[in-house]
Amino acid sequence: MQNITHNIAKFLGTLGVIALIASSAQAQTSLSLPIPEGAVQTDTLSVANTDSVIPVGIWAASTGVPTRIVSGALQRQIYKMPKSGLTEQQIIAPMIDALKLSGFDLVFSCQGLQCGGFDFHTAAPVAAPPAIFVDLRSFVAMTLRDDQGDHIFCVVSHFASDTYIQIDYMTARQFDISGASRDIALRLQSTLDRSDNPLDYPRTLEQGGAIILSDLTFDSGSAKLGDQDYASLTALADYLKTHQDSKIILIGHSDAVGSLQGNITLSQKRAASVRSRLVGDHGINPDRIVAQGVGYLAPIAPNTSDENRDKNRRVEAILDQD
Question: Taking a C-beta distance cutoff of 8 angstroms, is the pair 277, 237 a contact?
Answer: no
Q: Judge if the upstream peptide bond of residue 299 is cis by omega within 30 degrees of 0.
A: no
Residue 162 pairs in a beta bridge with 82, 159
d(CA 94, CA 100): 10
Concatenated DSSP letters for 104-145? Answer: -EEEEEEEGGGTTHHHHHHHTTPPPTTS----TTSEEEEEEE
Name the band, by pLDDT with cuts 50, 70 and 90, for residue 25.
very low
What is the DSSP pairing of strand 289-293 with strand 248-252? Answer: parallel
* Entry pTM: 0.64
For domain 179-319, the CATH architecture is 2-Layer Sandwich (3.30)
29, containing H or E segment: strand 27-36
pLDDT at 45 > cutoff 50: yes
Coil, strand or helix at 189: helix
pLDDT at 13 > cutoff 50: no
Task: State pLDDT tens for residues 74-122.
Answer: 999 999 998 778 999 999 999 999 999 999 999 999 999 999 988 999 8
Residues of the chain with CATH 3.30.1330.60: 179-319
